Amino acid sequence: MKTHYFLTEKIDSEEIEHLQIAEESLFQAIRKWYLEQKTFPRINKELTKHFTENSNFKAEDVIKTFSAIYWLKKLFIEYSEDTPNDFVDDLNTIQPDLIKIDKEKFTKRVVEVYEIAKYYENIVNIENAKRIGAPMLKGASTSVILKPVFKERFDFDKQDIKEYKPVFQKFEPCILFELHDTSGGIMTFQMDCESFERFLNDMISLQIELNTIKNECN
């Protein structure tokens, strides 16, 4: 045998069948969708709805095709470029009756699933690299707040609270930030308009530098 799959993994004849009977247009649509994702996708009812609303695909066929691709993708996550052909050869040796379509066509589909697995292996490497160092930003919320400005604020050392009569002058706008990181930490801070403008310019300059680096890498 060329691989260890059939020594360590159960041969899922149902998934192998679904992989073969999947309509070509549906298979390619799901494969394209997989390769467009930037993080690990969530396969749920909303995703099934996405593939059935604007097409003639049946929900049952979408689910079966997703399931077959997902099953085989998990097997291929750590193997070499020879794996797809070796997988087909081993299956053909052990249970040739499971291959119900042309072997060349079946091999092509297995190779295409392998390409998805390699793509997600790269995503794993990127996510692991991101975890090195400081926590990653998970989410953020911002809002504009109006802070009241008074002529003289209460001074405990100089005034009696009973005599304190604040004189309102105006509202000063500020930006309130709340940042959430992947370690569960939350940072809250505020900026005045001038500081916020400098902050925006810093972010824009970083975006320009990032785009330059990305262009160089590509």
C-alpha–C-alpha distance, residues 63 and 48, integer Å = 7
Q: Read off the pLDDT of each residue in 85-94 and give the average, rounded to a whole number.
A: 88
Q: What is the DSSP string of 6-70?
A: HHHS---HHHHHHHHHS-HHHHHHHHHHHHH-SSPPP-SHHHHHHHHHTSS--HHHHHHHHHHHH
The 137-150 sheet, strands edge to edge = 137-150, 168-181, 186-192
Give the number of other Cβ atoms within 10 Å of residue 109's Cβ: 21
- At 29-76, the pLDDT tens digits run 989 988 888 877 677 777 788 788 867 788 888 889 988 888 888 777
pTM over 0.75: no
Q: How confident is the model at residue 153 (pLDDT cuts 50, 70, 90)?
A: confident
Helix (H) and strand (E) counts for the chain? 8, 3
**2: three-class secondary structure by DSSP:** coil
**156: three-class secondary structure by DSSP:** coil
Q: Read off the pLDDT of each residue in 165-185 and give the average, rounded to a whole number.
A: 89
Alpha-carbon 105 to chain mean position: 31
Alpha-carbon 106 to chain mean position: 29
Q: State the DSSP H helix or E strand holding residue 192, giving kind and residue range, or none if neither.
A: strand 186-192
Place of tokens 């105006």: 170
- At 93-152, the pLDDT tens digits run 888 898 999 889 999 999 999 888 888 887 777 777 766 677 778 888 999 999 999 988
Q: Read off the pLDDT of each residue in 155-160 and give the average, rounded to a whole number.
A: 81
Q: What is the DSSP letter of 169?
A: E
